[in-house]
Amino acid sequence: MMKKADNQLLVIFGASGDLTKRKLLPSLFELYVRNLLPEKFRVLGASRTAFTDEEFREEQRKAILDSPEAKPYDPEQVGRFLQLVHYLSFDSTNEAEYGKLKERIEQLQQQNGLDDRIIYYLATPPVMYESVPVSLQKQGLNKPRTREGWRRIIVEKPFGTNLESAERLGEKLRKIFPEENIYRIDHYLGKETVQNILVLRFANGIFEPLWNRNYIDSVEISATETLGVENRGKYYEGAGALRDMIQNHLMQLMAFVAMENPAVFDPEPIRDEIVKVFRAIHRYSPTEIWNDVIRAQYTGRTVGGTALPGYREEKGVAADSTTETYVAMKLFIDNWRWGGVPFYFYTGKRMAEKKSEIVINFKSTPTQMFAGQCSGSSCNKLTIRIQPDEGITLKFGLKMPGAGFTVRQVGMDFRYSSLSSNYLPDAYERLLMDAMLGDSTLYARQDALEASWGFIDPILQAWAKKPDKNLYTYPVLTEGPEERYDLLYHGAGAPGPEIPTGPCKCGK
Ligand SMILES: NC(=O)C1=CN([C@@H]2O[C@H](COP(=O)(O)OP(=O)(O)OC[C@H]3O[C@@H](n4cnc5c(N)ncnc54)[C@H](OP(=O)(O)O)[C@@H]3O)[C@@H](O)[C@H]2O)C=CC1
Ligand SMILES: O=C1O[C@H](COP(=O)(O)O)[C@@H](O)[C@H](O)[C@H]1O
């Protein structure tokens, strides 16, 4: 039986926006259906759009029932859930309005018998991540009034746009909320399959002896999408794939793969190990940046009679934009476990497939003695499929039945869908639930963010100085730029593994 959080209020700033509609309210509804919300619980949405409580509920009702991921929900159950949801029309950039917010909060607490526990969720444009907490503090809304009360704040990404801004934001927030009450969201950490990396590694004895530079040839971590920038062109122009996906999601995946076991399974020891990995990443020299990191933009083409725009034709994107929609890079972790093992990252929008996965390529045998025996780095590989078709496959060679000794590669497969209860919660369900319970394990800590920005910053700076250098193109719905083969896997002088996106050359 899952533990329930103490009674509390969740205040969402930016509640009329896309994130609230697509992720936050549907996830809260799932928690409601599973009876995981606190016994007494209220949501207060706050943004400028003029809604009454009823109008806001109607908006959310449609979003929950009509979303592409919606299950056949009972509309009456949705209606009952929405009675927990309220709305305040409020301009969070105007300090004078925070008195109104305070009144509404106190009214909801009194009317619903809530103790003084509040989570603030910043689902506003990032420019407001500093100003909203400052205004909350001016009204005394950042501190609980009672001993058993608390105030937590969840901050959406992007958490800064470089090291300096991330440090500044962290510093500001820590003056207003204690570090342990600041929850910096990285939704990849809320994915069931990502959490399973820790269980796979630390609940099984068989992997640990192999999990190092002696047996692992390379690690590939990828997240590709078929969608383009959709209606987020303006945001994406200032972000690009390196900030949008690698600085946070792919680096967090790498940390789970590469970290040492924490002494105990508690938030701080786990986060300590994550930081150690980020700090041990080899910092690129100026030459290595151009050899080991490539970027590209998708270009338009017609697919099945439909003309698909290129990145530079998207709404909100400059016609001469140099923002990357694809990044592939090779990096190393300079420690005893991983020294010399290349980690390959690649991510891109508008690619052939929506897929996120981690592939551990083990070293092959020193000699080949059988017909058909695999050689190279992708003979024995462990693939952790984050999404879709969530699961894990181990690939190895076995004898074909019959005369002789001919080897065939086979896969030993675990699929989440084959579990008797195959419900996979959305990442936001898990993360919201954890914040309500006060468990920050799956949230990013400030020092980890700074360490990851510290690695990313020099790349951003080099690109800013030479905006066109190593900026390639790839047609929409393809595997990425051709240049990824040369530059990444063979161009840097080191013998690389087989091309990660290519088919295995070992036969099926
Ligand atoms: N959408 C997504 O999938 C993801 C979003 N994020 C992050 O979450 C945050 C929210 O994203 P998203 O919902 O997509 O953004 P939207 O632009 O859809 O929503 C932001 C909301 O903030 C409100 N807002 C803007 N200015 C003010 C103001 N002065 N006072 C009060 N409210 C204001 C707006 O409502 P109104 O006009 O009514 O005030 C708007 O509805 C962003 O920082 C984004 O980077 C992160 C990951 C994924
Ligand atoms: O944070 C982000 O992630 C999504 C991809 O998330 P996924 O769970 O669908 O893999 C990405 O589309 C978006 O640009 C980025 O901001």
- Does a structural domain hold residue 26? yes
Sequence-distant (≥ 6) Cβ neighbours of residue 226 within 8 angstroms: 350, 351, 352, 353, 354, 477
pLDDT at 233: 92
Ligand 2 nearest-atom number relative to CA 188: 8
pLDDT classification of 338: cutoffs 50, 70, 90: very high
Count structural domains, the chain.
2
Boundaries of domain holding 291 = 189-425+446-490
Q: For the segment 488-506, what is each residue's pLDDT rounded down to a tens digit?
A: 655 443 334 454 444 333 3
Q: Which residues are known binding-site members for NADP(+)?
A: 14-21, 48, 157
- Does a structural domain hold residue 230? yes
The first and second tokens of residue 277, run together, are 């990995």
Which residues have C-beta atoms less than 6 Å from ligand 1?
14, 16-19, 47-49, 91-93, 123-126, 156-158
Pick the last residue of a domain from 133, 156, 179. 156
Pick the last residue of a domain from 107, 141, 156. 156
Instruction: Assess whether pLDDT exceeds 80 at residue 242.
Output: yes
Q: Please check whether residues 454 and 316 belong to one and the same domain.
A: yes
Q: Please check whether residues 273 and 145 belong to one and the same domain.
A: no
Q: Please check whether residues 204 and 142 belong to one and the same domain.
A: no
User: Running DSSP on this structure, what letter comes out for residue 371?
Assistant: B
Q: Please check whether residues 228 and 334 belong to one and the same domain.
A: yes
Ligand 1 nearest-atom number relative to CA 124: 22
CA of 396 to the centre of ligand 1 (A): 47
Q: Which amino acid is at 2?
A: M
Q: Please check whether residues 144 and 32 belong to one and the same domain.
A: yes
- Does a structural domain hold residue 51? yes
Closest C-alpha to ligand 2, atom 9: 225
The stretch 80-92 carries a mean pLDDT of: 97
Spatial contact of 137 and 27, defined as CB atoms under 8 Å apart: no
Q: Please check whether residues 138 and 197 belong to one and the same domain.
A: no
Closest C-alpha to ligand 2, atom 3: 245
Instruction: Assess whether pLDDT exceeds 90 at residue 460.
Output: yes
Instruction: Assess whether pLDDT exceeds 90 at residue 448.
Output: yes
Residue with more model confidence, 12 or 73: 12
- Does a structural domain hold residue 500? no
Instruction: Assess whether pLDDT exceeds 70 at residue 222.
Output: yes
The stretch 82-87 carries a mean pLDDT of: 98
Helix (H) or strand (E) holding 377: none
pLDDT classification of 379: cutoffs 50, 70, 90: confident
CB of 244 closer than 6 angstroms to any ligand 2 atom: yes
pLDDT at 504: 35
pLDDT at 422: 65
- Does a structural domain hold residue 3? no
Q: How big is the CA angle at 129 (ends 127 and 135), to the nearest 5 degrees? A: 110
3-state SS assignment for residue 385: strand
pLDDT at 273: 97
The first and second tokens of residue 67, run together, are 């979303």
Closest C-alpha among 497, 494, 505, 508 to residue 216 = 497
Q: Please check whether residues 150 and 226 belong to one and the same domain.
A: no
pLDDT at 464: 97
pLDDT at 506: 35
The stretch 471-496 carries a mean pLDDT of: 74
Q: Can you tell me the distance from the alpha carbon of 1 to that of 307, in angstroms, rounded to the nearest whole number?
A: 51
Q: Which of 13, 19, 230, 426 to mutate to test the pocket of ligand 1 (most atoms within 8 A of CB)?
A: 19
Q: Please check whether residues 328 and 228 belong to one and the same domain.
A: yes
Q: For the segment 269-309, what is each residue's pLDDT rounded down to a tens digit?
A: 999 999 999 999 999 999 999 999 999 999 999 999 999 99
pLDDT at 501: 45
Looking at 67-205, which runs of residues are DSSP E strands? 85-89, 117-122, 150-155, 182-184
Q: Please check whether residues 217 and 136 belong to one and the same domain.
A: no
CA of 223 to the centre of ligand 2 (A): 9
Q: Please check whether residues 273 and 127 belong to one and the same domain.
A: no
Q: Which of 159, 222, 225 to mutate to test the pocket of ligand 2 (most atoms within 8 A of CB)?
A: 225
- Does a structural domain hold residue 259? yes
Percentage of the chain with pLDDT > 90? 84
| Phi, psi for 447 (deg, rounded to 5) | -65, -30
Instruction: Assess whether pLDDT exceeds 80 at residue 434.
Output: yes
Instruction: Assess whether pLDDT exceeds 80 at residue 69.
Output: no
Angle between helices 53-66 and 25-33 (to 10 degrees): 80
SS3 content of the chain, % helix, strand, coil (to 5): 40, 20, 40
Instruction: Assess whether pLDDT exceeds 50 at residue 93.
Output: yes
With tokens 């009329």, the residue in question is 16
Looking at 300-406, which runs of residues are DSSP E strands? 301-303, 306-308, 326-331, 343-348, 355-362, 381-387, 391-399
Closest C-alpha among 314, 343, 110, 329 to residue 231 = 314
CA of 206 to the centre of ligand 2 (A): 33
Q: Which of 61-75, 180-194, 319-333, 443-457 has the lowest mean pLDDT?
A: 61-75
pLDDT classification of 508: cutoffs 50, 70, 90: very low
The stretch 185-194 carries a mean pLDDT of: 94
The stretch 70-79 carries a mean pLDDT of: 88
CA of 156 to the centre of ligand 2 (A): 12
Q: Which of 114-123, 387-396, 485-494 has the lowest mean pLDDT?
A: 485-494
pLDDT, the chain, mean: 92
pLDDT at 495: 37
Whether 86 is catalytic: no
pLDDT classification of 52: cutoffs 50, 70, 90: very high
List, as one string, the DSSP characters of 455-497: HHHHHHHHHHHSTTTTEEEEETTBS--THHIIIIIITTSS---
- Does a structural domain hold residue 165? no
- Does a structural domain hold residue 182? no
From 86, 249, 282, 490, active-site residue: 249
Q: Which of 27, 161, 187 to mutate to test the pocket of ligand 2 (most atoms within 8 A of CB)?
A: 187
CA of 428 to the centre of ligand 1 (A): 16
pLDDT classification of 417: cutoffs 50, 70, 90: confident
Q: Please check whether residues 99 and 235 belong to one and the same domain.
A: no
pLDDT at 71: 75
Could you give the ipTM of this predicted complex?
A: 0.96
Q: Please check whether residues 296 and 149 belong to one and the same domain.
A: no
CATH number for the domain that contains residue 390 = 3.30.360.10
CATH number for the domain that contains residue 152 = 3.40.50.720
pLDDT at 1: 58
Q: Which amino acid is at 445?
A: R
